[in-house]
Structure 1
Amino acid sequence: MPPVIHPFNPGRRAMLAGGLAAGGLWSIGQSARAASPDGLPQPPSVVSNPPRQWGTDAPVTPLPDPDILVLDPSFGNLAYANASLKLAWRGGGWLEGPAWCSEGRFLLLSDTIRAVQYRYLWENGAVSLFRSPSYHSNGNIFDNEGRLVSCEHGLRRVVRWEHDGSCRVLADRYNGAPLNSPNDLAVHPDGSIWFTDPGYGDTIVEGHPDAPGNPANREGVERWNLDGEVMTEFGGSRRQEDHVFRIDPATGEVKAVLTEKQLPDPNGIAFSPDGRIVYVISDGPGPGQDGHGGDGRIHAADVAGSEVRNLRPFADMMLNGHAMVPDGMRTDIFGNLWCGANGPLGLCGVVVYNPHGHMIGRIRLPRGVSNLTFGGPKRDVVFMCAGDTLFTLQVNTQGAAPS
């Protein structure tokens, strides 16, 4: 989500900015260079002094990269010691929804603020405009048949782009009411599309607010555009409860698999490689919500056809005494969960959990990560969206397809 502090939700938005306030992207540091047990200085990192620099003109990074942190020996098998973190591109507004197109060999990115999508080419790292407008799209994924499925905040819907170029609306209403702002999605091995529908996109910046008098537009002064018309068509109704939905691959039925009472403010979603477990993040309150919202944890549930059972906490996102804010996540082929973590500088970036919920590794970045995915011809590169910037890391594992 963009780092915009909404009057009804200052806490979550401020946290998503991660370490930005500590000094900027290109030159970031807050503490003296640490010393190893033998008294020798350690290589510079994002919290060292002098600070780590990013970009093509930056000094050569020591290997192994000091910002790839092994917390458990098992992560050493996943991290590639000869690879370092790279700043692949900077120039977006707020990047989200990275999705790898295997056939086209490109990474698709959403820019939720500018309401466009970008294409990052594998061969040369060139970035070009892919779709405009994208109606403030957020989460994206390529389904089991290689078709792009996107969550659109602006039109409050989930759409699929067919092979002939046509657009099919998969979901835009539930129980007769418009959706809130579909956020993230995942494809199950059976072909069903699962997506979360919190209210984080109910803002002018990321989509559009509610109709006048409703939670995300209580004073009725926010408008969809500058033409003087209040946005009531295109799904501009009042906010309904947050849900996690499943779209049936055969019938197209949109079914709520988790309610707001079971899991409030659902955000990122992912499946285990075999599809037997679904992981869902419960985050803070969205625009217009009263109360504390979700619990800031990753939850897991067993998948039984079109139902979920045994919903349970999976990871509390605590790191060095800080409650990190999770966002997007993906699994690798071994069932490890890679999750974007937002919080203080030095802690934010990506955290990695094994299938038992034990944190085994970290990728330390100068700002929090909104979402990530695996890509490249072998699906062995982690692409991480962090504000207006895309970071990459070569790893010794692969993403569980589709990614």
Structure 2
Amino acid sequence: MRRSTRVSSDLKADRSLSRRTALASLGAAALTPAWAARAALPAPPSVVSTPARQWGPMAPPSAIPDPDIIVLDPSFKDLLFPNANLELVWRGGGWLEGPAWSTEGRFLLLSDTVRSQQYRYIFDDAPNADPARGPDTGIVSIFRKESFNANGNTFDTEGRLVTCEHGLRRVIRWEHDGSCRVLADSYQGRHLNSPNDVVASPDGAIWFTDPAYGDTTAEGHPDADGPANPRKALRPFIGNEVTSEHGGLQRQADHTFRWDPRSGTIEAVLSQDQAPGPNGLCFSPDAKTLYVISSGKAPGQQGPAGDRKIRAFDMSSGRPANGRIFTDFTLDGQSLIPDGMRADVFGNLWCGASGPLGLCGVFIYNPAGRMIGRLRLPVGCSNLTFGGEKRDTLFACCGTSLFSLTTSTQGAGFS
């Protein structure tokens, strides 16, 4: 039986803290093994579950089935491992984003947008490990000391890491020889906004969204002279001399882009009118449908703004067409905020949701757009992915923390 984990006081505070405040409260403490970070701080009971739930390696086992795994349709039970509990596996980030599983390296890559670093989470399955650390705990180390406010990540069809960088407003790829290649940093002669999420398609193309959610001092830098800094009061080049090379930055319209592996050029496959405020994106397992999340209004938003909905597009001759609303992302009459998502091998969408306590967490939709289940978490979820050796473990980035759940499904290959 899996042991539950415990949320600390600063995790509980994530519900009301801004990203910048959360970062300031955590300070610049060095990363530590997951068990030490969790065990060192007190943990209040959850106010979500009844009876009140404890999270932490020393907490009593949670009930089976987990009270925070909520089945809304019988089909959701087929995706669940009956003995699994939601677990808090690591806490200590600033604002976690862009989880991506390296099948070859067998590690989870994470971006910390506000600390401008990337982390590597590695399972620690040593047989003589301290039992107080609990099951499935791991070690977190710095993967990239300066990531230029990296956000979304993916591994392409050849296993190369592709990353979106807010700070330098570009999409890069790390080659097998260790060199870095810039895939995209401008469109029609203008710098990109803040590339957000990225996925690879079966034909080797790279798809990414380019809203302006990262055009802020906390997660990148604002415009030098443009809509994301209309009064010109913010100085975008303070704190990182490298960004000074990108002077005169101005926000442009939102786009969803496709990078072509043959020509090395990018194409705007969806306009702001077709997918306003684009954020997370993924393909269905057969790559015949593209899903794009529309989040809230971004800095300097002009024209159609994000409406907190998920759109679906048919892939026609390699390009999206026939756009439609897949879900309005509401629960109990409240409009929650979608961010990132991934598809499983059966075509279900697992979507991060932020909003009021008790409603936020992860929403699961079947291919017809019906919510079949949800994972109730003590803080909103920004992004998620499937990983583990069998690709059956869901990892969810939630503010400063990383949660996991062992499932009876697997992540789709092109999500």
TM-score where L is the length of structure 1: 0.87
State the Cα distance separating 1:81 from its structure 2 match.
1.0
Number of the residue aligned with 1:164: 177
- Alignment of 1:201 onto 2:218: no
Number of the residue aligned with 1:42: none
Contact 1:18/1:343 (8 A) holds in 2: no
- The 1:47–1:82 alpha-carbon spacing in structure 2 relative to 1, beyond 3 Å, is closer
Q: After superposition, where does 1:211-250 map in structure 2 within 5 Å?
A: 211-212=224-225, 214-226=226-238, 233-234=245-246, 237-250=249-262
Number of the residue aligned with 2:32: none
Query: What do the CA deviations read for 1:88-130 (whole angstroms, capped 9, x no partner)?
Result: 1000000000000011100000000000000000234100000
The separation in 2 between residues aligned to 1:221 and 1:102, in whole angstroms, is: 45
The separation in 1 between residues aligned to 2:247 and 2:368, in whole angstroms, is: 40
- The 1:229–1:219 alpha-carbon spacing in structure 2 relative to 1, beyond 3 Å, is farther
Number of the residue aligned with 2:27: none
Query: What do the CA deviations read for 1:23-81 (whole angstroms, capped 9, x no partner)?
Result: x9943555xxxxxxxxxxxxxxx2435x3221112221111111001110100000111
Q: After superposition, where does 1:1-400 map in structure 2 within 5 Å?
A: 19-20=15-16, 26-27=43-44, 29-30=46-47, 46-48=48-50, 51-124=52-125, 125-212=138-225, 214-226=226-238, 233-234=245-246, 237-289=249-301, 293-400=305-412
Where structure 1 has 5 or more consecutive residues not aligned to the other structure, the ranges are 1-16, 31-45
Contact 1:18/1:344 (8 A) holds in 2: no
The separation in 1 between residues aligned to 2:171 and 2:351, in whole angstroms, is: 23
- The 1:296–1:235 alpha-carbon spacing in structure 2 relative to 1, beyond 3 Å, is farther
Tell me the matched-pair count.
Answer: 368
> Which segment drifts farther, 184-193 or 217-226?
217-226
- The 1:29–1:72 alpha-carbon spacing in structure 2 relative to 1, beyond 3 Å, is same
- What is the root-mean-square deviation in Å for CA atoms of aligned residues? 2.0
> Which segment drifts farther, 393-402 or 374-383?
393-402
The separation in 2 between residues aligned to 1:228 and 1:386, in whole angstroms, is: 27
The separation in 2 between residues aligned to 1:268 and 1:209, in whole angstroms, is: 21
Please state whether the residue corresponding to 2:79 is helix, strand or coil: coil
- The 1:28–1:234 alpha-carbon spacing in structure 2 relative to 1, beyond 3 Å, is farther
Please state whether the residue corresponding to 1:217 is helix, strand or coil: coil
Amino acid at match of 1:218: P
State the Cα distance separating 1:19 from its structure 2 match.
3.6
- The 1:157–1:235 alpha-carbon spacing in structure 2 relative to 1, beyond 3 Å, is farther
Please state whether the residue corresponding to 2:246 is helix, strand or coil: coil
The separation in 2 between residues aligned to 1:340 and 1:114, in whole angstroms, is: 21
State the Cα distance separating 1:186 from its structure 2 match.
1.1
Contact 1:80/1:396 (8 A) holds in 2: yes
The separation in 1 between residues aligned to 2:248 and 2:104, in whole angstroms, is: 36
Contact 1:246/1:306 (8 A) holds in 2: no
The separation in 2 between residues aligned to 1:342 and 1:296, in whole angstroms, is: 11
The separation in 1 between residues aligned to 2:216 and 2:45, in whole angstroms, is: 30
Where structure 2 has 5 or more consecutive residues not aligned to the other structure, the ranges are 1-12, 23-41, 126-137
Amino acid at match of 2:160: R
Please state whether the residue corresponding to 2:75 is helix, strand or coil: helix
Query: What do the CA deviations read for 1:325-355 (whole angstroms, capped 9, x no partner)?
Result: 1000000000000000111111100000000
Number of the residue aligned with 2:128: none
Query: What do the CA deviations read for 1:255-308 (whole angstroms, capped 9, x no partner)?
Result: 001001111110000000111100001111111226772211100001123421
Amino acid at match of 1:351: F
TM-score where L is the length of structure 2: 0.85
Please state whether the residue corresponding to 1:215 is helix, strand or coil: coil
State the Cα distance separating 1:252 from its structure 2 match.
1.4
State the Cα distance separating 1:185 from its structure 2 match.
1.0
Which structure has greater helix proportion?
2
Please state whether the residue corresponding to 2:231 is helix, strand or coil: coil
The separation in 1 between residues aligned to 2:299 and 2:350, in whole angstroms, is: 27
